[in-house]
Amino acid sequence: MILAGDVGATKILLEVGEARSGRWEPAFSKRYATRDEVGFPDALREFLDDWKRAGGGGAIDAAAFGVAGMVEGRRVKMTHRPWIVDADFICNRFGIGKARVANDLGAAAHGIDWIAPEDIVEIQPGHADPVEPRVVLGVGTGLGISYRVNVGGKLHEIAGEGGHANFAPSNATHAELWQTIYRAQGRCSAEDVLCGHGLQHIYGHITGRGAHVRGAQGFPESAEISAGAERGDAVCKATLELFADCLGSVAGDHAVSLMARGGVFLVGGVVSKITPHLASDRFRQSFCAKGVHSAVMMRIPVRAVRSERIAVIGAARMAAEL
């Protein structure tokens, strides 16, 4: 029996089940709001109790968790929560034989091959070479970035904190957005543009209200912006168009840096809600606009993963490998 989890700033998804023939088969799954929990051990205890009440139970052979933060040995310090998720503590506290913690985007990159085909949407066509590098961008509460590269014939994840690198404007429209955010907070990272809060920044920029300062009243939530675009609201549609333009530029920067002929994958809660807007000319044109390498970029496949379970599926794969 395997325990797998996706521990994010907004939600915690936990599952128990078995890995069979290269697929994850959960027996029990629960989602918790991170803000409702005192710490991760409390959420895990709640989950195990819920599982037992549902008729489950028994020994867990291995566990793995994708956590939204920086990995330090066998611990992850979360970026947007004052939590530390510690593999050794989890083993000792809950009697689990083996456990691993990873960055959530590293876990997502590890789970790509276990995702059901119906959960993958083609954004830009192309042949993905399975031994060439991949890039995975996770767009949700924050912006996460992970690479998957071939080392000695085996693919390995390299998960850093690329979302916190500076946002590099690639045209005059991007530069104006950069100025709006910079004036409000003195810096503009890629994450300031490309996450749920980034959608609010872009909305404020387009409406002339300026960047969204946390706690400001009158700004729609990111889900409301995507819903407004679906209804045909002109401002919401323009917000998502500029968001797709900026995401294409940043995704293309990482793809050209790595020559990601293994493909670029877009994941996360925001991606799952706005996938139709990403399958647009603005995203592809911005992604491919890399000067002398533009023709090469046009051959790199880009896929959107609609399932929000990708990090927990990748964590399950990691646990199975333990």
With a cut of 90, say whether residue 201 has pLDDT above it: yes
Tell me what pLDDT residue 154 has.
87
Number of domains forming the structure of the chain? 2
Tell me what pLDDT residue 275 has.
92
Q: Do the Cβ atoms of 15 and 26 come closer than 8 Å?
A: yes
Same domain? 256 vs 166: yes
Tell me what pLDDT residue 155 has.
86
Supply the pTM of this predicted model: 0.93
With a cut of 90, say whether residue 74 has pLDDT above it: yes
Same domain? 70 vs 144: no
Q: Do the Cβ atoms of 309 and 104 come closer than 8 Å?
A: no
Taking only the tens place, the pLDDT of each residue in 87-99 is: 999 999 999 999 9
Taking only the tens place, the pLDDT of each residue in 281-299 is: 999 999 999 999 999 999 9
Same domain? 174 vs 205: yes
Same domain? 103 vs 143: no
Same domain? 59 vs 174: no
Going by pLDDT thresholds of 50, 70 and 90, the confidence category of residue 233 is: very high
Same domain? 194 vs 260: yes
Taking only the tens place, the pLDDT of each residue in 163-184 is: 999 999 999 999 999 999 999 9
Percentage of the chain exceeding pLDDT 70? 100
Same domain? 132 vs 260: yes
Same domain? 134 vs 37: no
Question: How many CB atoms are closer than 10 A to CB 119?
Answer: 16
Tell me what pLDDT residue 76 has.
96
Tell me, what amino acid is at 65? F
With a cut of 90, say whether residue 6 has pLDDT above it: yes
Going by pLDDT thresholds of 50, 70 and 90, the confidence category of residue 57 is: confident
Same domain? 47 vs 59: yes
The first and second tokens of residue 191, run together, are 């994450």
Range of the domain at 253: 118-306
With a cut of 80, say whether residue 217 has pLDDT above it: no
With a cut of 80, say whether residue 216 has pLDDT above it: no
Mean pLDDT, range 299-315, rounded to an integer: 95
Instruction: Report the CATH number at residue 68.
Output: 3.30.420.40
Tell me what pLDDT residue 56 has.
87
**Considering the chain, what is the average pLDDT of its residues?**
94
Mean pLDDT, range 102-108, rounded to an integer: 95
User: How far apart are the C-alpha atoms of 298 and 44, rounded to whole Å?
Assistant: 44
Tell me what pLDDT residue 290 has.
97
Please provide the size of the chain in residues. 322
Q: What is the largest CA-CA distance in the chain?
A: 60
Q: Do the Cβ atoms of 240 and 270 come closer than 8 Å?
A: no
Same domain? 57 vs 184: no
Same domain? 63 vs 150: no
Looking at beta carbons, which pairs linking 148-151 to residues 24 or more positions away fall under 8 Å?
A: 148/109, 148/110, 148/112, 148/262, 149/258
Strand locations in the chain (E): 2-7, 11-20, 23-33, 62-67, 69-72, 75-78, 84-86, 98-103, 120-124, 134-139, 143-151, 154-159, 264-267, 302-305
Same domain? 71 vs 28: yes
Instruction: Report the CATH number at residue 248.
Output: 3.40.367.20
